[in-house]
Every structure is written in C-alpha cells, then in structure tokens.
C-alpha cells in the first residue's frame, strides 16, 4: 500500500528550471492512498504536479511537508530507501534515459546486478523479464537499433528484473506512436491482471486512464477529484474547466444524450460506447 499523507513540495527555482517559483508549491497538501493490486491513473495538465507526485513514490523526491509511506516505510527514513526502491519500479518518458548498456540482455540485468543478486539468478530474471515483455528474440540486439516502443519494453523489463511489487509509469507512453503505446499498455495490463502488480500511471491521455481502476485528477498541485473512470468522466464540464477533456467515446455519448438518447451511465471506452449505442438502437 502507498499512503501519500498531506504532502507539499516546493522546487528550488535555481536548481530546477522547470519548477515553479518557491512561493508556488508544485504539490500542495495532497493526500492519496493506493491499495495493493490497484491500477491508478494520475492525470492533469502540464504543471499540475502529477510527475512530481510520481517521483515522491519511490523517494526520488522527498516532501517539503507531509509523508509518503510505502508498505509501512517512510521515504524520509534514509535506511528504508533502498528497500522502497526495490519495491517501486519507475519507468520514465524517455526510455533512452534508462538504457545504460549496448546489449539488451545486459541492460535488463543491470539493476539486479547492482542489487547484489547472484549471477545465475540474474540470468533467470533476465529470461523471465524479456519473456514477459515479448522481447526475448532481441536479447542480443543493440538497444539503439530498436523502435521507441521496443525500447520502452526493455526499460520495463529492466524494472521487472528487479522484482518490484509496484510499477510507476511517468508518462511512459508520451513519446510513442499509437502502436508503441498500445504495446506498452497491453504489457502493463497483463502485469496487473496476471501478477497482481500495483500500477500507477501518470498520463495526459484520457483513453489510457479509462482502463484504470481509479483516477486521481490534479490541478495546480492539488487533488481536484478522484473516483472510477465512470465517476470522473461523468463530470466532463469540471474536467474541461481545468483544461482537460474526456475520451472520444464519452464525448460521442454526451452528444447523443444531449440529443435526447437515454444514456443513464456514460461508457468510458470505445467498446462500451459501441455496446451501449447498439443496445439503444
């Protein structure tokens, strides 16, 4: 379980050019609980604080005020940071920033090696992780020769080889084309369903959020609303008021409802929308 307890975080404007001024916290009094096995999507416009929250979950950033508790361990406790980072794997927007070797299998084994895992066990983990992301045939390849989606799958494999309990994807699909995005999301869904892995996704793509168990919407460093995708997207006007929107499937059904079609509950995915419309027609 991850417990984010009333955290506030201010960037130092002199050391982080992307952060707001010291008088404006990037995260302001945010509380959020993420249960084991959940998929939670944190959404918000640029500058809303969502990526700052992601970096707090495994102690890359420490809150100016408040606490982040991961499985009972406080990220402020320096003696717990290594264990926290073993449990929480991070995948970032640009996979090139996480690839550190010139051969795929060596890159996937880099994390476990740094953790002191015995050599034989490392290769077992590499085999397992590459199979999970469907990249076994590329194990001897040079990462720089792979597509963006394939590189991101290697970055995920590198995290999986460390046997994390939770996976945080900080806009991990932002630089990918639709096919690459679909590949990565399919892997993440499978890890959650088959392995019970807790997944926290940071994204601006509402279609991605529609398939999560729960959404947390941020604006101005604060938690604006949270709920299931159905509950959140039913408040489309409020989302638009902070510069966000609803998925295309929801927009279509909103218009049909405005035109007089009886749609008591707005569907959130294309499949649900098609089923709802066909049933009504």
CA-based nearest residue to 68, from 48, 91, 88, 86: 88
Enter the DSSP assignment of 216: E
The residues near 43 (Cβ < 8 Å, ≥ 6 apart) are 50, 202, 203, 204, 206, 209, 215, 216, 217, 218, 244
pLDDT number for residue 50: 92
24-59 residues labelled b (16+ CB within 10 A) or e (exposed): ebbbbebebebeebbbbbbbbeebbbbbbbbbbbbb
SS3 per-residue string spanning 65-127:
EEEEEECCEECCCHHHHHHHHHHEEEECCCHHHCCCCCCHHHHHHHHHHHCCCCHHHHHHHHH
Q: What is the pLDDT of residue 41?
A: 95
Which spans in 133-247 are helix H?
Answer: 148-160, 178-195, 206-209, 229-233, 236-241
**pTM assigned to the model:** 0.85
* pLDDT at residue 79 in the model: 93
CA distances from 62 to 10, 49, 53, 88 (A): 10, 14, 10, 15
What are the backbone angles phi and psi of residue 161, rounded to the nearest 5°?
A: -65, -20
For residue 3, the cross-strand partners are 33, 69
pLDDT tens string, the chain, 281 residues long: the values are 999 999 999 987 445 445 545 568 999 999 999 999 999 999 998 889 999 999 999 999 999 999 999 999 999 999 999 899 889 988 888 888 888 888 999 999 998 888 888 988 999 999 999 998 889 999 999 988 998 888 988 988 898 898 889 999 988 888 778 887 888 888 888 889 988 999 999 988 888 888 899 999 999 999 999 999 999 998 989 999 998 988 888 888 888 888 888 887 877 888 888 888 888 77
Cβ distance 216 to 41 under 8 Å? yes
Residue 42 phi, psi (nearest 5): -105, 115
What are the residues whose beta carbons fall under 8 Å from the beta carbon of 178, sequence distance 6 or more? Answer: none
Q: Say how far apart CA 66 and CA 31 lie, in whole Å.
A: 9
Alpha carbons 254 and 133: distance in angstroms, whole number = 37
Nearest-angstrom CA–CA distance, 242 and 222: 12
Residue 112 has a CB neighbour count (10 Å cut-off) of 22
Q: Is 82 within 8 Å of 254 (Cβ atoms)?
A: no
CB distance 171 to 93 below 8 Å: yes
């Amino acid at each position: 379980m991850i417990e984010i307890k009333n955290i506030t975080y201010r960037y130092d404007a002199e050391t982080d050019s992307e952060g707001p001024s010291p008088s404006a916290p990037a995260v302001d009094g945010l509380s959020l609980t993420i249960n084991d096995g959940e998929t939670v999507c944190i959404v918000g416009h640029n500058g809303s604080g969502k990526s700052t929250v992601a970096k707090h979950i495994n102690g890359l950033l420490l809150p100016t005020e408040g606490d982040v508790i991961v499985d009972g361990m406080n990220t402020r406790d320096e003696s717990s940071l290594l264990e926290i980072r073993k449990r929480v794997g991070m995948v970032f927007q640009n996979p090139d920033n996480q690839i550190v070797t010139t051969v795929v299998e060596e890159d996937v084994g880099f994390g476990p090696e740094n953790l002191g895992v015995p050599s034989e066990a490392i290769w077992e983990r590499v085999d397992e992780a590459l199979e999970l992301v469907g990249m076994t045939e590329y194990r001897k390849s040079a990462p720089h020769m792979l597509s963006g989606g394939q590189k991101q799958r290697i970055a995920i494999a590198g995290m999986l080889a460390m046997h994390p309990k939770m996976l945080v994807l900080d806009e991990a699909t932002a630089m990918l084309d639709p096919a690459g995005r679909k590949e990565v999301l399919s892997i993440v869904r499978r890890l959650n369903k088959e392995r019970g892995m807790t997944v926290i996704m940071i994204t601006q793509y509402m279609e991605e959020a529609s398939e999560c168990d729960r959404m947390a919407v941020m604006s101005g460093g604060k938690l604006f609303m949270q709920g299931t995708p159905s509950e959140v997207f039913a408040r489309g006007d409020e989302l638009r008021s902070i510069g966000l929107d609803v998925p295309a499937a929801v927009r279509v059904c909103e218009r049909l409802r405005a035109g007089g079609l009886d749609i008591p509950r707005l569907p959130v995915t294309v499949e649900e929308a098609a089923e709802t419309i066909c049933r009504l027609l």
